[in-house]
Amino acid sequence: MTLIKSISGIRGTIGGSVGENLTPIDAVKFASAYGTWLKQQLKKGSYRVVVGRDARLSGEMIQNLVMHTLVGLGIKVIDLGLSTTPTVELAVPLEHADGGIILTASHNPKQWNALKLLDAKGEFLNAEEGAKILKIAESDEMSFAEVDDLGEIMTNDAYIDIHIDEVLELSLVNKKAIESCNFKVVVDGVNSTGGIAIPLLLEALGVEPIKLYCDPTGHFPHNPEPLKEHLGDLSAEVKKHNADFGIVVDPDVDRLAFMDENGEMFGEEYTLVACADYVLSKTPGNTVSNMSSTRALRDVTEKHGGTYEASAVGEVNVVNLMKKNKAVIGGEGNGGIIYPDSHYGRDALVGVALFLSLLAEKKMAVSDLRKTYTSYFMSKKKIELTPSLDVDAILKAMEERYKNEDLTTIDGVKIDFSESWAHLRKSNTEPIIRIYTEAKSQEEADALADQIIGEISEVAGL
């Protein structure tokens, strides 16, 4: 059982001991710290926070604990109930709120939950602000409201519909072209809130949704991370219904992957590549993804005359670099689309609408679309180290070893070769180094990863 406190929030497994798991006491303590941080930052008369959750089994319990803790701090809560991460992100500025909390553990299994924290823009907190909240949680700084100053809870269950309306109003969403194609699409909502939002969006775009695991019970029918090995049922349904393609999202609907008409994965890394191809064809500009994402985004960006840049891993880092470089689209290789014309957060609804617009205008099958992009293959491995080893020193030695190559060191060590790359970064929570590689074949990617692991072992004296 686990409790992980980080700058981006708190996540853990339900049940067990206080301080070691995400217990009710831990949820209350962290919600108290967040509310206290808001009041310290803003120092005004009244405060508003938007709260929403995915459908996991512990969601209602954790949400009630969080909301009533905020009420105890004198904060007004806008309760979205069952929602999605991007929906909450959109709702914060629309409600003129001071922040937001999303109760979701993203792709983690059902025993996990988490509090994800937003600022007044509906964006994730930066490292400095997250660190302040962690410090407050371990202090005696929290002071609650007296009885006449308690907050209140206002329910608003319209925001998924509002979110869909916002997507439909995006200038690059070609609803007319999509409607003319009479698409039929299978949706795997992993029995969470994607099962509500994605079919509603498809219907609004004139697409026929075939629902698979779209009942938001929180009983995930398979591992909720949208990877090929978990999606045999989706593949079978796409072929059974002769569908144009399949869609799968994670429980909080910020990750998006597609399956082609043959029941084969389009490639989660290529969700962003395809959406960027469409956006860049209409609005040329720059793109950003994190350092562990596919080089194919750079290729498609340069094809359209733009500049690609890579950020450190983490959504807030991607967003910061997008703003700095005025990127017209960005995101992460895990299927996260960030489209600034909507908002600065990963959004599967936006991704679905852009992908459908691309397909409708190109008038080609999903499998044929995939062939238009350079194929890269990834290997994701890790090497476990003893706690006594200095991981930073090991990475510094690897940096020295490859000093004559194209190196980036903002997040571990990224080595760019002419036909491949390797990214080495340490885990924030355990004594391991993660090794991601990419090459023109799976064999080459695996071989490069094994080579790097061997060199790390040599440097570390293992």
What CA–CA distance (Å, rounded) separates 5 from 2? Answer: 10
Give the model's confidence band at 430: pLDDT under 50 very low, under 70 low, under 90 confident, else very high: low
Beta strands in 261-411 (DSSP E): 286-290, 308-311, 327-332, 336-338, 377-384, 406-408
Q: Are residues 144 and 214 in the same domain?
A: no
- For CA atoms 184, 185, 186, 190, give the dihedral sign: negative
Structural domain boundaries, residue 412:
377-460
As a whole-number percent, the residues of the chain with pLDDT over 90 amount to 89
Q: Per 3-state DSSP, what percentage of the chain is helix, strand, and coil (rounded to 5)?
A: 40, 25, 35
Helices then strands, counting H and E runs in the chain, come out as 15, 20
Q: Has residue 111 got a pLDDT over 70? A: yes
Q: Are residues 28 and 130 in the same domain?
A: yes
- For CA atoms 352, 355, 356, 357, give the dihedral sign: positive
Q: Has residue 7 got a pLDDT over 70? A: no
CB 324 within 8 A of CB 63: no
Q: Are residues 363 and 383 in the same domain?
A: no
So which residues are the catalytic ones? 106
Domain final position from 113, 131, 157: 157
Q: What's the mean per-residue pLDDT of the chain?
A: 95
Q: Which residue has the tokens 């238009």?
A: 372
Torsional class of 413: left (φ above 0), alpha (ψ -120 to 50), beta (otherwise): beta
Q: Has residue 5 got a pLDDT over 90? A: no
Q: Are residues 284 and 432 in the same domain?
A: no
Domain CATH code at residue 338: 3.40.120.10
Cβ atoms within 10 A of the Cβ of 76, count?
18
Record the pTM.
Answer: 0.94
What mean pLDDT comes out for the span 326-350?
A: 97
Whole-number pLDDT of residue 358: 98
What mean pLDDT comes out for the span 393-419?
A: 94
Task: From 370, 373, 374, select the one nearest 359 (Cα to Cα).
Answer: 370
Q: Has residue 381 got a pLDDT over 80? A: yes
Whole-number pLDDT of residue 168: 98
Domain final position from 349, 371, 393: 371
Write the pLDDT tens digit of every residue in 97-108.
999 999 999 989
**Strand (E) or helix (H) holding 37:** helix 24-42
Using only the alpha carbons of the chain, give its radius of gyration. Answer: 22
Whole-number pLDDT of residue 76: 98
Q: Has residue 4 got a pLDDT over 90? A: no
Domain final position from 134, 157, 180: 157
Whole-number pLDDT of residue 461: 77
Domains: count for the chain: 3
Write the pLDDT tens digit of every residue in 284-309.
999 999 999 999 999 999 999 999 99
Whole-number pLDDT of residue 365: 97
What CA–CA distance (Å, rounded) separates 200 from 221? Answer: 21
Q: Has residue 445 got a pLDDT over 70? A: yes
Whole-number pLDDT of residue 386: 80
At a CB cut-off of 8 Å and minimum separation 6, what does 332 contact?
272, 289, 290, 293, 315, 318, 346
Q: Are residues 94 and 198 in the same domain?
A: no
Q: Has residue 120 got a pLDDT over 70? A: yes
Determine the Cα angle at 118 with ends 66 and 101, to 5°: 20
Q: Which amino acid does the sequence have at 381?
A: K
Q: Are residues 180 and 144 in the same domain?
A: no
CB 209 within 8 A of CB 202: yes
Whole-number pLDDT of residue 351: 98
Whole-number pLDDT of residue 429: 58
Whole-number pLDDT of residue 99: 98
Q: Has residue 49 got a pLDDT over 80? A: yes
What mean pLDDT comes out for the span 326-333?
A: 96
Q: Are residues 391 and 455 in the same domain?
A: yes
Whole-number pLDDT of residue 406: 94
Write the pLDDT tens digit of every residue in 121-169.
999 998 899 999 999 999 988 999 999 999 999 999 999 999 999 999 9
Write the pLDDT tens digit of every residue in 59-95.
999 999 999 999 999 999 999 999 999 999 999 999 9
Q: Are residues 107 and 176 in the same domain?
A: no
